[in-house]
Structure 1
């Protein structure tokens, strides 16, 4: 039988190992990016480097926009707004009870052009929704109960549903939020500087500083590493335990086989001594071969087998051992009844 537990632990350890390597690699990359202390220095840096040369930098500032979005429920002004609506209800399951469930009714997102501003210059950010580390603030969370009516209640009951209400959640990136952005800096022909996802490299939009990002990635890399080591040790233990049990089981089978063969040889010797005292018209060759086969219980290998299993019909155990069995040792079928046999 395949040791599923051990294999699962080893595969989990491999996955955690690669996650740890990825986090550690990202931390090393973030250490090597160019840090821009003031946004006005970024335009000069791009002019010095070259407009077409990929330049991955990290900048900080506060979120701003010329056309911010006025949130419908929270009243906040933001540059990215996500709205979701979930229908909550009770449904009748097969067991006859009511369980709570929900279904997504609406999911929409709005984003306007926005920038980072440190008071001296602005840098536009493009494609922030696809960046790592972007967390939107929950601006509003409202639950609207469903209206009660006899007709609606009857229809819902016939369908096995009880409507509870609609939960509306509004997440927003408010203006004025301090952010750190890591990405490729470019400058267009009109002199506008923007940061976007690089073709190769990190792209982060986070409310943490660059040093905090590096520290967090390093911490997760260590946690993944230790978890990988733990799963590896446990998985190897399970595999070794399974292998040891398999070896001991095979060894027990070989010892049992030797005991059965020894018992058969002993019984054959006793039968030959008995045959020598009989006339030449004794039992046939077929009967002699049958006498060579041991009649011992396959469990204890001490008593003769004297019980028949119903319904499979196998006879291989004594009554004492049969009383402890639920399945036949030969065919593994369930034992409904044990019938004792008598030999003459």
Structure 2
């Protein structure tokens, strides 16, 4: 029975490549579905005609739309603690600690960061007409459920940590060296142009609301227009597609390598079998092999020390073993000179 054509290392490589290829293809298909859904979604702007559009559809809800408007607070807006003139409807404060970690493998210091504190504040807000003439507005519900918050960095400060000689000594002994703290503030500013992609619903009180889709589709809030978001999603989908393709090619390369090795092994076995048959045929139809009684003892096989030397190894021409020992060689190398054996012929006495 032939041995398994794949080695354990090749099995690990093949399994990993197939797993990553499947994962990357799943991510590609997921992004591609979102792209297709956004391309098919109606593209609207905040205006008085939204209620008319919903009424024309015969439903109080549009399952997936892309709507563009200007951010305005529905209540008192948030004020930046660092820039009093800036007002927004979403604020995120982040405090990160930066430190250097000694990498024993690379023999160098690598930068690392850790979030010490993160706070997110929101107030209700609406989207109004970009032109500023229409009266209609759309309330944005559950903005924190969006795939990514549309925030701009309005403040950033890095406070470096001072170290004494004793601190530096302890840092080298522990392998950790604090660098300092980075404090950032991000906000969705009042008056920003925002595009929301989700479910547009008309409530019984006549108000319009943009909310996360009830069917589980992705909910997007992004600065700018929907074409920018679509381009980013298409780029991500293309990246995962090529990653899946590369992993698939790696799997194919592993399989091809194993098949080539198996083919070479089978080819070697066929050659050995052909040599055995040729040897037996020559013994039957040509001159008789050496008579053991006529050979001196020193002409015995150097491997088994029992049978006579009865074959010639080519191309080196050494006569050193019997045919059975030749067949039992672990590799096709001459026991005398270690040269490669192309073929073997029987040894005859004239």
What is the aligned partner in structure 1 of residue 207 from structure 2?
192
Query: Closer, same or farther in 2 for the Cα pair 1:146/1:220, shift >3 Å?
Result: closer
Deviation, 1:196, is 0.8
Query: Closer, same or farther in 2 for the Cα pair 1:271/1:87, shift >3 Å?
Result: farther
Moved over 6 A (4+): 260-267, 269-272, 292-297, 314-317
Deviation, 1:229, is 4.9
Q: Which one of the candidate residues 260, 263, 266 is aligned to 1:250?
A: 266
Query: Closer, same or farther in 2 for the Cα pair 1:227/1:208, shift >3 Å?
Result: farther
**Matches of 2:70 and 2:167, distance apart in 1:** 49
Task: Verify the 8 A CA contact 1:125 1:195 in the aligned structure 2.
Answer: yes
Task: Verify the 8 A CA contact 1:83 1:171 in the aligned structure 2.
Answer: yes
TM-score (norm. length: structure 1): 0.68
What is the aligned partner in structure 1 of residue 37 from structure 2?
29
1:209 corresponds to 2:225: yes
Q: Which one of the candidate residues 77, 91, 97 is aligned to 1:81?
A: 91
Query: Closer, same or farther in 2 for the Cα pair 1:27/1:94, shift >3 Å?
Result: closer
Deviation, 1:4, is 5.2
What is the aligned partner in structure 1 of residue 79 from structure 2?
70
Q: Which one of the candidate residues 316, 322, 335 is aligned to 1:318?
A: 335
Moved more, 71-80 or 197-206: 71-80
**Matches of 1:212 and 1:90, distance apart in 2:** 37
**Matches of 1:60 and 1:238, distance apart in 2:** 50
Deviation, 1:144, is 0.4
- List alignment gaps of at least 5 residues for structure 1: 279-287, 306-313, 325-344
What is the aligned partner in structure 1 of residue 299 from structure 2?
none
What is the aligned partner in structure 1 of residue 110 from structure 2?
100
1:137 corresponds to 2:147: no
Q: Which one of the candidate residues 140, 165, 171 is aligned to 2:180?
A: 165
Task: Verify the 8 A CA contact 1:86 1:168 in the aligned structure 2.
Answer: yes
Task: Verify the 8 A CA contact 2:320 2:336 in the aligned structure 1.
Answer: no
- Over aligned residues, Cα RMSD in angstroms? 4.4
Query: Closer, same or farther in 2 for the Cα pair 1:265/1:145, shift >3 Å?
Result: farther
Query: 1:276-306 CA deviation, whole Å, 9 max, x = no partner?
Result: 559xxxxxxxxx9942798999xx895648x
What is the aligned partner in structure 2 of residue 176 from structure 1?
191
What is the aligned partner in structure 2 of residue 240 from structure 1?
256
- Aligned to 1:248, the other structure's residue is in SS state helix
Matches within 5 A, 1:232-311: 232-233=248-249, 235-256=251-272, 259=275, 273-275=290-292, 290-291=306-307, 302=318, 304=320
- List alignment gaps of at least 5 residues for structure 2: 1-6, 296-303, 322-329, 341-350
Task: Verify the 8 A CA contact 1:83 1:109 in the aligned structure 2.
Answer: yes
- Number of residue pairs matched by the alignment: 306
Deviation, 1:243, is 1.1
**Matches of 1:23 and 1:95, distance apart in 2:** 37
